[in-house]
Amino acid sequence: MQTVNVSGLKNNPSEALRKAREDLVLVLNRDKPDALMVGVELAGVLEREGVRPALATALFRDGHLSLARAAHLAGMSVGDFATHLSRLGIPVIDLEASEVERDLDELDAWLASS
């Protein structure tokens, strides 16, 4: 097990993450244990059934990953991941009403000119 103090974590998070990929990292706050970091690959978390799609879904839903990146993390094609999201009631495209109206107006203009 390796250790890092809070100031070291704050000043160099990359180093703490690198350590967590190799071993458990105990985060010390004022010389007292405060948190434990473990790399997801080291723990084998991502290899458990259903974890990748669930993680990708949550990260997409919360706006942290694009559709393509979330699909890649989930191990699915973009189309399959979009279908997965739709089944869960998570919008694949989240637009305001004004954006939808503008898009429809542009579509109507394009269709009229074709």
Specify whether 38 is located in the same domain as 52.
no
Dihedral sign (CA 75, 76, 77, 82): negative
Can you give the CATH number for the domain in which 20 is found?
A: 3.40.1620.10
- For 27, the enclosing helix (H) or strand (E) is strand 25-29
**pLDDT (tens digit per residue) in 30-74:** 999 999 998 888 778 888 889 999 999 999 999 999 999 999 999
Place of tokens 């007292």: 32
Q: Give CA torsion, residues 84, 87, 89, 95, to 10 deg.
A: 60
| Residues 28 and 7: beta-carbon distance below 8 Å | no
80 and 102 part of one domain: yes
Q: What angle do CA 89, 92, 94 make, to 5 degrees?
A: 100
Residues 77 and 109 in one domain: yes
Residues spanned by the domain of 17: 2-43
Q: Are residues 62 and 28 in the same domain?
A: no
Number of domains observed in the structure of the chain: 2
Residues 106 and 62 in one domain: yes
pTM (2 decimals)?
Answer: 0.64
